[in-house]
Amino acid sequence: MSEATSFDIRKILNALPHRYPLLLVDRVERLTKGESIHAIKAVSFNEQFFQGHFPGRPIMPGVLQIEAMAQAAAILGIETLELAGTGKLVYFMGIENAKFRAPVEPGCLLDMHVEFVQKRSRVYKFKGTASVNGKTTSEVEFTAMIADPPAD
């Protein structure tokens, strides 16, 4: 079993190509290579999506919760394979069993727990759960692959 580690934003930026406004992981509380990750998204009222979703009742879109879990999974995969800083990208291949359980509003800390379900060379299956204060907000299973970035 690998030792669990935590990441600050600098290490997250080294692992992911995402940047503002689509970087949806602010901190990694615990990453165990080859197994799982616990990441945090601090949901701020200043997020661009709150301008239109919904005025007067801001709610983080469920698809962005899934994207946040996918970014956490990408960090897990990149770190497990020791590919940070190589420019490799993690692409969605499929999303299954997505369920949205409760709204996520500004001021929340979105806890994301993602684990490997299956690993095959460059294709990986993950299971993720997002929650706020212990209450599940969304859950999903998804498949992703690690690949080289497109040629210029």
Every domain of the chain and the residues it spans: 4-147
Supply the DSSP symbol for 107.
T
Note the pLDDT tens digit of each residue in 63-119. 999 999 999 999 999 999 999 888 889 999 999 999 999 999 999 999 999 999 999
- Give the confidence band of 55 by pLDDT, cuts at 50, 70, 90: confident
Q: What is the mean pLDDT of residues 21-27?
A: 96
Q: What is the mean pLDDT of residues 13-39?
A: 95
Q: What is the mean pLDDT of residues 36-53?
A: 95
The model's pTM is 0.94
- Tokens 């020791």 correspond to 82
- Give the confidence band of 2 by pLDDT, cuts at 50, 70, 90: low
Closest by CA position to 33, among listed 92, 95, 83: 83
Q: By the 8 A CB rule, do 74 and 90 touch? A: yes
Give the DSSP per-residue string, 27-86.
Answer: EEEEEETTTEEEEEEE--TT-GGGGTS-TTS----HHHHHHHHHHHHHHHHHHHTT-TTS
- Tokens 């590919």 correspond to 83
- Give the confidence band of 1 by pLDDT, cuts at 50, 70, 90: low
Task: Indicate which residue of 18, 38, 53, 113 is catalytic.
Answer: 53
Q: What is the pLDDT of residue 23?
A: 97
Backbone angles phi, psi at 44, to 5 degrees: -105, 150
One CATH from 3.10.129.10, 3.30.310.50, 3.30.70.20, 3.40.50.11030 for 4-147: 3.10.129.10
Single-letter amino acid code for the residue at 136: T
Q: What is the pLDDT of residue 149?
A: 85
Is 53 designated active site?
A: yes
